[in-house]
Amino acid sequence: MNTINADFRSDTVSRPSPAMREVMVKAPVGDDVFGDDPTVNALETWTAEFAGKEAALFCTSGTQSNLVALLAHCQRGDEYIVGQEAHTYKYEGGGAAVFGGIQPQPIEYSNDSTLDLNKVRSKIKPDDFHFARSRLLCLENTRSGDVLPMDYHSQAASLCSETGLALHLDGARLFNACVKQQVSLQDIAQHYDSVSLCISKGLGAPAGSILVGNAELIDQARRWRKMLGGGMRQAGIMAAACQYALENNISRLAEDHENALHLAKGLASLPGVNCDIARAQTNMVFMTLDDAAITNGLVARLADEGIAVLGGDVMRLVTHMDIDRSAVDRLISVCDAYLQGIGQH
């Protein structure tokens, strides 16, 4: 297997910097299940204040923080309304149904990654024992690199307030949206009853996600976290990495966005490559080729050059702190050389 020296598969592959590793080594720790880890306690207090919420809960992953949020919002036989391609619905193992007996009601996304709120309204069930109880609307920001419009948050919140739904945001890459739109976390989080914030993607922590919301919800989520095996002992080592990431790595996401745009423009200039530059809003680029065999060959050629990408009908390329401009230019160059070699030019 060739050594990977440029990994575009996801921002989850980002690695802790030497400075982050140093604070991890030095972090004061205790038993977090007993509530005695000072670094975890400080992270939860800081993040709750940063998001403008009453409380926060440190979780192992974004999947876990989303799941405990859904379980805290909903009871067995309840329903949550969600996007057809949403991470909470499609890519988290059906956990809400498995552990909570919560029924999903998926809706197709609009082209801008919003859910049409008229469609949401039409899917809310009447108060009738024949139906699951509509309890929660779950949104995602960013989704496939797309940033939700700022006015959409308040519109969704108004609908939920009117219809009695709670509102949860899967904010796995919410800080990318904040940087792109030049707004604060509170500017977005204020509209939601709960927000999941993943720290192990573009922010570079090795693990960790934080759920924020009101105190009662977080108490319920903490109970669910324990039942799901998420109680951690000397977790301050990981919490210290997340605290460092939140204090030092948010603004630098703009560099990832710039590199993604540069990548999209470079790929779009190559004959035989379909790449929508306008979709490169944050740190994701999507490209397609005219033939699956060409795609597979390109993935293999990139791997030979130490560049890791995911194949498929639509190739998703993700920039992050371990991808610099030279890595982007090298990927474009390898694509160009490969396509020339097979006569695409």
Condensed to tens digits (0 to 9), the pLDDT of residues 79-99 reads 999 999 999 999 999 999 999
**Nearest-angstrom CA–CA distance, 178 and 338:** 37
Residues 281 and 183 in one domain: no
Residues 157 and 111 in one domain: yes
Residues 332 and 200 in one domain: no
Predicted confidence (pLDDT) per residue in 313-343, tens digit: 999 999 999 999 999 999 999 999 999 888 6
User: What tokens were used for 95?
Assistant: 């956990």
pLDDT number for residue 126 = 93
Q: Find the CATH number of the domain harbouring 310.
A: 3.90.1150.10
Q: What is the residue-wise DSSP string for 22-47?
A: HHHHH-----GGGT--HHHHHHHHHH
Residues 178 and 282 in one domain: no
Residues 292 and 207 in one domain: no
Domain end residue (candidates: 215, 248, 281):
248
Q: What does residue 192 show for φ and ψ, rounded to 5 degrees?
A: -115, 150
Average pLDDT on 56-67 reads: 97
The answer to whether residue 4 sits within a structural domain is no
The answer to whether residue 3 sits within a structural domain is no
The answer to whether residue 1 sits within a structural domain is no
Residue 156 belongs to domain spanning: 15-248
**Helix boundaries (H) for the chain:** 18-26, 38-51, 62-73, 87-90, 95-100, 117-123, 150-163, 174-181, 185-189, 215-227, 236-248, 253-268, 292-304, 325-341
**Nearest-angstrom CA–CA distance, 43 and 210:** 9
Predicted confidence (pLDDT) per residue in 195-233, tens digit: 999 999 999 999 999 999 999 999 999 999 999 999 999
Mean pLDDT of the chain: 96
Domain end residue (candidates: 212, 232, 248):
248
Q: What percent of the chain has pLDDT over 70?
A: 99
Residue 195 near residue 138, CB atoms below 8 Å = no
Residues 70 and 196 in one domain: yes
Residues 83 and 228 in one domain: yes
Helix crossing, 325-341 with 253-268: angle to 10°? 20
Residues 281 and 325 in one domain: yes
Average pLDDT on 241-257 reads: 98
pTM of the model: 0.95
Label the pairing between strands 55-59 and 315-318.
Answer: unpaired
Average pLDDT on 26-37 reads: 96
**Nearest-angstrom CA–CA distance, 142 and 137:** 16
* pLDDT tier, 291 (very low <50, low <70, confident <90, very high otherwise): confident
Whether residue 142 is preceded by a cis peptide bond, meaning omega within 30 degrees of 0, is: yes
Please give the residue that has the higher pLDDT: either 246 or 271.
246
Q: Find the CATH number of the domain harbouring 111.
A: 3.40.640.10
Q: In this structure, how many other beta carbons lie within 10 angstroms of the beta carbon of residue 296?
A: 13
Residues 26 and 160 in one domain: yes
Residues 173 and 283 in one domain: no
The answer to whether residue 71 sits within a structural domain is yes
The answer to whether residue 117 sits within a structural domain is yes
Instruction: Compute, in degrees rounded to 10, the torsion defined by CA atoms 57, 58, 60, 64.
Output: 20
Residues 236 and 265 in one domain: no
Q: What is the spatial order of strands in the sheet that 284-289 belongs to?
A: 273-275, 284-289, 315-318
Q: What is the residue-wise DSSP string for 216-240?
A: HHHHHHHHHHHHTT---SSTHHHHH
Residue 281 near residue 146, CB atoms below 8 Å = yes
Question: Distance from CA of residue 27 to its chain's centroid?
Answer: 26
Q: What percent of the chain has pLDDT over 90?
A: 94
Write 16-22 long-range contacts (CB < 8 A, 24+): 16/204, 16/205, 16/206, 16/241, 17/204, 17/321, 19/244, 19/248, 20/204, 20/205, 20/241, 20/244, 20/245
pLDDT of 345 higher than 60: no
* pLDDT tier, 194 (very low <50, low <70, confident <90, very high otherwise): very high
Phi-psi label, residue 73: left if phi above 0, alpha if psi -120 to 50, beta otherwise: alpha
Average pLDDT on 7-20 reads: 97
* pLDDT tier, 292 (very low <50, low <70, confident <90, very high otherwise): confident
pLDDT number for residue 246 = 98
pLDDT number for residue 90 = 95
| Total domains, the chain | 2
The answer to whether residue 10 sits within a structural domain is no
User: What tokens were used for 329?
Assistant: 């230019």
* pLDDT tier, 1 (very low <50, low <70, confident <90, very high otherwise): low
Residue 319 near residue 283, CB atoms below 8 Å = yes
The answer to whether residue 7 sits within a structural domain is no
Domain end residue (candidates: 248, 276, 306):
248
The answer to whether residue 9 sits within a structural domain is no
**Rg of the chain (C-alpha set):** 21
Q: In this structure, how many other beta carbons lie within 10 angstroms of the beta carbon of residue 235?
A: 25
Residues 243 and 262 in one domain: no
**Nearest-angstrom CA–CA distance, 7 and 230:** 29
Average pLDDT on 167-172 reads: 97
pLDDT number for residue 156 = 98
